C-alpha cells in the first residue's frame, strides 16, 4: 500500500486537475455509477468525527476527519484525517493519503469548478474571508487560473490575515489584507467565505452579480452568510442531499429548495439575472474519491525510481 504524506499529496493535487476529476465524477454520478451516503457525524466532546465512504465502479474510499476548532489555542491543527483508497473489485487497500491536504485541495478545486460552471471565466478581483488552510488553498487555486488582478483577505484575526497576505505575495500572488471587507464589495467579482464561524462573516451589502462561494459552515447551526443575502440570491450547491442535511446558511434562511440548483444539473453557463450568485458546498465523499483516484493514477504512472527521488518519496 502507498502512503502519501501532506507535502507529497500537495505535489500531486493541483486544483485545476482535481476540478477536472470532480467534473468527471459528476458525470459518473449522473450515469448512476457511484455510491456515497450522506456523511456520518459523531460528537467528540469539543469536536466532531466525520466518516465519509464512497465508491464508483473501479475504486472505493473512506475518509475519516476530526474537527476540533479549539485546537488552535493548544497549538494543534483543527483538522486531522486520512483517506483510504481501495480496489472496488477486490477490497485491496491501495493508498493512504493525508486527509487535511486532500480535503483542502479538493475543496478549493470544487469551488473552482463551481465558479467555472456558474460564471465561466474567473477574472477581476476576489475577496477571501478567512486566513486558514482553506483560504490559502483557495487563493492559490484561483490565482493559478491566471485571470485575477488581486486577492483581498479579510477576517476576524488581522495578524493571521496579514501573515497569509505576506506569504502569498512571496509566491507572486497579489494579495492584500483589508480590515473592512465591505469597503471592497463594489470592487470584487467573487467572494469566498472560508471560516469556522457559526455567525455570518459577510453582510447583505454584497453587490449584485457577485459570485459568493461559501465553504465553511457544515452544520445546521452554522451560517457564514446572512439570511437576507441568501434569500435575494440565486443558489447553487454541490449536492442537494448534502445541502438539505447540513447547509446551515440555506436552512436558516428558509430557502425554497425547488429554486436551488445542484452542480450536476448545470448543463450550460447560466445567464446573470442581476442577483448575487451563491455556490454553497458542504463536501461530499465522491469529491474525496475523485481526488484520491487522481493521486493513485499519478503515482501508478511513475516509476519506482521517480517515487523514491528526493522530494518525491511516495
- pLDDT > 70? residue 304: no
- pLDDT > 60? residue 310: no
Greater confidence, 2 or 46? Answer: 2
Q: Are residues 138 and 83 in the same domain?
A: no
Here the CATH number for the domain that contains residue 162 is: 3.40.50.720
Half-sphere exposure of 17 (CA within 13 A, CB side): 13
Quickly state the pLDDT bin for 248 (edges 50, 70, 90): very high
Q: Are residues 293 and 269 in the same domain?
A: no
Quickly state the pLDDT bin for 78 (edges 50, 70, 90): confident
pLDDT tens for 265-277 read 998 899 888 999 9
Q: Answer whether 19's CB lies under 8 Å from 114's CB.
A: no
What domain count does the chain have?
2
Q: Are residues 128 and 270 in the same domain?
A: yes
Q: Are residues 66 and 149 in the same domain?
A: no
- pLDDT > 70? residue 170: yes
The mean of the pLDDT values for the chain is 93
In a domain, 190, yes or no: yes
Helix/strand/coil for 78? coil
Q: Are residues 198 and 50 in the same domain?
A: no
- pLDDT > 70? residue 313: no
What share of residues in the chain are helix, strand, coil (percent, to 5)? 40, 25, 35
Residue 15 domain boundaries:
2-102+286-307
Q: Are residues 45 and 137 in the same domain?
A: no
Q: Are residues 84 and 150 in the same domain?
A: no
Amino acid at each position: 500500500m502507498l502512503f502519501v504524506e501532506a507535502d507529497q499529496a500537495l505535489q500531486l493535487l493541483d486544483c485545476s486537475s482535481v476540478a477536472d476529476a470532480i467534473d468527471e465524477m459528476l458525470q459518473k454520478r449522473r450515469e448512476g455509477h457511484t455510491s456515497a451516503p450522506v456523511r456520518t457525524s459523531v460528537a467528540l466532546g469539543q469536536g466532531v468525527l466525520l466518516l465519509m465512504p464512497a465508491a464508483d465502479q473501479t475504486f472505493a474510499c473512506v475518509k475519516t476527519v476530526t474537527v476540533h476548532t479549539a485546537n488552535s489555542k493548544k497549538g494543534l491543527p483543527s483538522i486531522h484525517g486520512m483517506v483510504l483508497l481501495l480496489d472496488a473489485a477486490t477490497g485491496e487497500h491501495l493508498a493512504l493519503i493525508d486527509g487535511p491536504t486532500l480535503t483542502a485541495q479538493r475543496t478549493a478545486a470544487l469551488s473552482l469548478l463551481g465558479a467555472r460552471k456558474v460564471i465561466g471565466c474567473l477574472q477581476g478581483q476576489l475577496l477571501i474571508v478567512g486566513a486558514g488552510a482553506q483560504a490559502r488553498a483557495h487563493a492559490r487555486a484561483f490565482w493559478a487560473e491566471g485571470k485575477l488582478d488581486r486577492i483581498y483577505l479579510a477576517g476576524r484575526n488581522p495578524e493571521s490575515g496579514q501573515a497569509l497576505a505576506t506569504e502569498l505575495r512571496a509566491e507572486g500572488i497579489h494579495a492584500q489584507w483589508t480590515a473592512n471587507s465591505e469597503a471592497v464589495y463594489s470592487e470584487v467579482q467573487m467572494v469566498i467565505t472560508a471560516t469556522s464561524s457559526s455567525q455570518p462573516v459577510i453582510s447583505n451589502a454584497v453587490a449584485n452579480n457577485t459570485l459568493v462561494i461559501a465553504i465553511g459552515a457544515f452544520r445546521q447551526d452554522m451560517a457564514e452568510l446572512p439570511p437576507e443575502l441568501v434569500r435575494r440570491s440565486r443558489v447553487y450547491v454541490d449536492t442537494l442531499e448534502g445541502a438539505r442535511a447540513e447547509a446551515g446558511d440555506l436552512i436558516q434562511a428558509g430557502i425554497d429548495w425547488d429554486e436551488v440548483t445542484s452542480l450536476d444539473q448545470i448543463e450550460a453557463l447560466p445567464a446573470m439575472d442581476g442577483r448575487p450568485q451563491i455556490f454553497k458546498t458542504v463536501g461530499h465523499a465522491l469529491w474525496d474519491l475523485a481526488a484520491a483516484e487522481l493521486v493513485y493514477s499519478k503515482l501508478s504512472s511513475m516509476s519506482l525510481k521517480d517515487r523514491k527521488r528526493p522530494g518525491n518519496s511516495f
